[in-house]
Structure 1
Amino acid sequence: MSKKRSRMDAHARFERERRRNLLAQPGPSDLILVLDHLKPGFNVAKIFRSAQAFGAREIHLIAIGPFDPAPAKGALRAVPARFFGQLEESLRLLRSDDYCAFRMLADGGETLQTARLPRRCALVLGHEEFGLSAAALALPALSIAQYGPVQSLNVSVAASIAMYEYYRQHPLST
């Protein structure tokens, strides 16, 4: 199969899953993930899968085009997705719903492990190479403490660690 045909097939799968996403119900928690200009490749779908596992309310996708939904293992059908052209649009909606948004950094800011996360929390994760949009600079910063020489974590791994810490602080009843 040619790469062009493979991309077309992935785009068709994405559109099919995006239509099914309209039926997705908010997760049981008040955590929202905001994916700011992430590469539309493998990480976005993996974040959806983790968000479903942790019961995230929804995911905001900022200027993220079609991606292959296969690595999400069906999570794109379960976790509501909201699509925005600019981060400011998402932040306005979050503020109107009384959410406190934090930007996730590779280093700097308070460590996630010591921060007290509010129940109505939104975590903004930036592009793997270029970081966050300028609109995120006004948000309080959080980082994940790292003890080895690695410069940063993969964005889907960082999202999963952040979700785990949120749920450690705000456990859901089972």
Structure 2
Amino acid sequence: MTVSGDETEVGVGPWPGEWPADPRFDPDLLANGDRRNVVDRYRYWLREAVVADLDERRHDFHVAIENWQHDLNIGTVVRNANAFMAAEVHIVGKRRWNRRGAMVTDRYQHVRHHETIEEFAGWAHAHDLPVVGIDNLPGAHPLEAVTLPRRCALLFGQEGPGLSAAARASCDQVFSIAQYGSTRSINAGVASGIAMHAWIRAHAGPPPPEAPPPPVDLDGEAASRAP
């Protein structure tokens, strides 16, 4: 990140000096700079190279969310799934969803669509993934008092109604998130982050060490670059 006056510019400029020979690097980004919302580890990398590297270390949990009313929380769920390295995100219901909240992380996160809850549940069980509903429902077990299964699919409902009747029927387990204020519920974007982090605390080690930042031209001018 570079700062000029009162303005903050995200990312890095053109690669200074001789270009790296590594095929994971994108010539366009090397030439023009990389302003994407990615960690330094992936600066100047091709998108396909980033996805391939993430695929080597994705976690064993999946995330699913119902989409019957174009829920604005879906983008946040996808962004959280990318941050916590979910294997896949499953959109259940309408295919279209508002990607703005994902902050472009859907380019690096696998997203699968299912027309119905029954289709999703069938897919999950065929892949030996118990469906774990997250909702404050009567009889739900407190998330704070349990350990999420290592292999599972976390299922979230829509803002307002929560899990649909069909979704509740498809769940192997349902867990609730403790709340202490006056509101009846929290939105699915927030709930997904809490549930994914509960999985991380139970099953994941520390994230990989951050790579050193790319080289910078201390003179503020573009150095000579490879063709």
TM-score, normalization by structure 1: 0.79
CA distance change for structure 1 residues 63 and 24 in 2, over 3 Å: closer, same or farther? farther
AA at the equivalent of 1:33? V
Greater Rg by CA: 2
Equivalent in the alignment of 1:157: 190
Inter-partner Cα distance in structure 2 for 1:68 and 1:169:
31
CA distance change for structure 1 residues 36 and 42 in 2, over 3 Å: closer, same or farther? closer
Q: Secondary structure at the match of 1:113?
A: helix
Equivalent in the alignment of 1:11: none
Asked if the contact 1:106/1:153 (under 8 Å) is kept, the reply is no
Runs of 5+ consecutive residues of structure 1 not aligned to the other structure: 1-19
CA RMSD of aligned residues (A): 2.2
Structure with bigger helix share is 1
Superposed, 1:115-126 pairs within 5 Å as 115-126=146-157
CA distance change for structure 1 residues 29 and 141 in 2, over 3 Å: closer, same or farther? same
Q: Secondary structure at the match of 1:99?
A: coil
Q: How many angstroms does 1:113 deviate by?
A: 1.0
**Is structure 2 residue 176 aligned with structure 1 residue 136?**
no
**Is structure 2 residue 73 aligned with structure 1 residue 43?**
yes
Runs of 5+ consecutive residues of structure 2 not aligned to the other structure: 1-46, 209-227
Q: How many angstroms does 1:117 deviate by?
A: 1.1
Identity %: 31
Equivalent in the alignment of 1:73: 103
Q: How many angstroms does 1:24 deviate by?
A: 5.2
Superposed, 1:5-84 pairs within 5 Å as 26=55, 28-37=58-67, 39-84=69-114
Q: Secondary structure at the match of 2:96?
A: coil
**Is structure 2 residue 132 aligned with structure 1 residue 102?**
yes
Please identify, of 59-68 and 156-165, the stretch whose mean Cα deviation from structure 2 is larger.
59-68
